[in-house]
Amino acid sequence: MASVTQSFDAVVIGAGFSGLHMLKSLRDKLGLKVRVYESGETVGGTWYWNRYPGARCDSDAYIYCFTWDKQLLQEWEWSERYPEQDEILGYLEHVAKRHDLKRDIQFNTSVTGAEFDETTNLWTVRTDNGEEVTARYLIAAVGTLSATNMPQFKGLEKFKGKWYHTSRFPQTGVDFTNKRVGMVGTGATAVQAIPEIAQQAKQLTVFQRTANYCVPARNGKVDPEVIKARKADYEGIVKRIKESFFGQEHYFIPKSALETTAEEREREFDKMWDAGGFAFWLANYQDMFFSQKANDLCADYIKRKIRQTVKDPVIAEKLIPKGYAYGTKRQPLDTNYYETFNKENVRLIDAKTDGVIEEITETGIRAGGIVYPLDIIVFATGFDAMTGPLKALNLKGRGGRTLDQEWVDGPRTYLGISIAGFPNLFTITGPQSPSVLSNMPVSIEQHVEWITECIEAMRKTEKTTIEATRAAQDQWVGHVNEIVSATLMTSANSWYMSANIPGKPRAFLPYLGPEGVGGYKKKCDEIAANGYEGFQLA
Ligand code: NAP
């Protein structure tokens, strides 16, 4: 296809939550000419691709939505506490239609590369259908968990059955009826999918590498009176979540777990457990992420719950997490996850006790020397988080430098929104911003608003480029690492620590600021108010 050159004020990559909001904001607030590229056939991002059984949001829906459309906050009715993937996708479709966003989105188009031209101060963006366009601003709205991690299992090509990765599940779904299914992985995705697949499959074999601490989601219909009260208080809710630590209405207990009596602690733990959702993770004792002893008390409570729920003590023991602190891996929310292992048709193959996956054979998976016969394998093996989707864009900044060259020892950004040497590039919920440690829509909105105001300020002051200075970036990277090193987070082999991808430099990917999302927003706003401190404007 011949290349057609068009020029835009801004190119936005991705049409999920962040891309849709960015388009709305730049086009309708600032009047910019914007083109969005989206590799899917419609909007949705994460909610377009992740269609595995049981896929639903893990944050309460009343705050897992756009808060900039005040009228929609009042009008929209979620069917339950954590709606399923198709309902969230329907919501994003509705937003796109309501704000006439699709006319500026080119679907089924992936960005294959973008270069910053130092003579024109423009980005040249190339796509997989041969197009080449220029833009003053380039905004990566590619999501944090969109680059699939498909481990190179030996022998996969020989497998005679069918296999799927949860992040690229067929739109038509998969019929597991009467099938022998293998599930690889036990992260947040698998924890949602396993109970659903187990209801259909003849036999489900779960291959676990690391046991997870799961807490109950407690999904269900929300009391209409609660919905009414929330709608009446949306202004307050939005203010609170924006100023909160995690972008949620969850607050730590302002006390040490070690300074409470066993009875009081048990009461608090029961309360969080009964509330369900992220309460146990994000509204626990304030020293849970800092003190191993405090953490052990929280972990022990969950371990007791696992032992009470799983009838076979040998299976329960395999499901008990070992060797890392509670909460240092992303909290999976479960609906009958542990109960599922009581079913006759479900078995657990644990890497530590039964042996690791050695290869995929024609007929199944061989682990610990035994072949487990399978008709279907589902890989819930996660993502090359945060840096993966950005590196896949093949960006070239000043001097043709790539992110692979810049990020040899892990990501280096300023505020997670900008990268030194990559002028006018903005990364929504990028590495070293709170992003994945928060309720994503809150962090997305904060970045979109900040970027919009920044571009508006540049236009008013007739600046052509904005770029993080190396000094400010170095300081930010140091700050991110210093803060996290005071917590237990660095001890786990989590994707937060880049530990899930062989060869990925070990680095903490998000930002765990001392005052969370609220403190981070304050910092970003101060930087803007001080004439974009740490940035060079030209
Ligand atoms: P994940 O948390 O990275 O889990 C991947 C699983 O696959 C882990 O159990 C991992 O074991 C295992 N695994 C990876 N490579 C393997 C290998 N080579 N051999 C054997 N096992 C292997 O991925 P995920 O479950 O897809 O979740 C990723 C993130 O997506 C979550 O943390 C969450 O942020 C997000 N998510 C959100 C929602 C929601 O909000 N509704 C739902 C699902 C997921 P190890 O633990 O040993 O690495």
Tell me if 380 CB under 6 Å of ligand 1. Answer: yes
Tell me if 193 CB under 6 Å of ligand 1. Answer: no
Condensed to tens digits (0 to 9), the pLDDT of residues 86-114 reads 999 999 999 999 999 999 999 999 999 99
155 CA → ligand 1 middle, Å? 22
Nearest to 523 by CA among 416, 419, 390: 416
pLDDT of residue 4: 57
Rounded to whole angstroms, the Cα distance separating 166 from 197 reads 12
pLDDT of 1 > 80? The answer is: no
Rounded to whole angstroms, the Cα distance separating 38 from 489 reads 34
HEC letters along 462-508 = CCCCEEECHHHHHHHHHHHHHHHHCCCHHHCCCCCCCCCCCCCCCCC
396 CA → ligand 1 middle, Å? 30
470 CA → ligand 1 middle, Å? 33
Condensed to tens digits (0 to 9), the pLDDT of residues 452-490 reads 999 999 999 999 999 999 999 999 999 999 999 999 999
Q: Which of 219, 381, 437, 439 has most ligand 1 atoms within 8 Å of its beta carbon, as the pocket-test mutant?
A: 381
pLDDT of 261 > 80? The answer is: yes
Q: For ligand 1, atom 4, name the residue with the nearest CA.
A: 187
Tell me the three state secondary structure of residue 111: strand
**Is the torsion defined by CA of 44, 46, 52, 57 positive or negative?**
negative
Residue 184 is inside which H or E element, if any? strand 180-184
pLDDT of residue 5: 81
Tell me if 354 CB under 6 Å of ligand 1. Answer: no
Condensed to tens digits (0 to 9), the pLDDT of residues 383-434 reads 999 999 999 999 999 999 999 999 999 999 999 999 999 999 999 999 999 9
Condensed to tens digits (0 to 9), the pLDDT of residues 147-183 reads 999 999 999 999 999 999 999 999 999 999 999 999 9
Condensed to tens digits (0 to 9), the pLDDT of residues 293-348 reads 999 999 999 999 999 999 999 999 999 999 999 999 999 999 999 999 999 999 99
pLDDT of 2 > 60? The answer is: no
Tell me if 382 CB under 6 Å of ligand 1. Answer: yes
Q: For ligand 1, atom 41, name the residue with the nearest CA.
A: 57
Query: pTM of the predicted model, to two decimals?
Result: 0.98
CB within 8 Å of 267: residues ≥ 6 apart = none
Query: What is the chain's length?
Result: 538
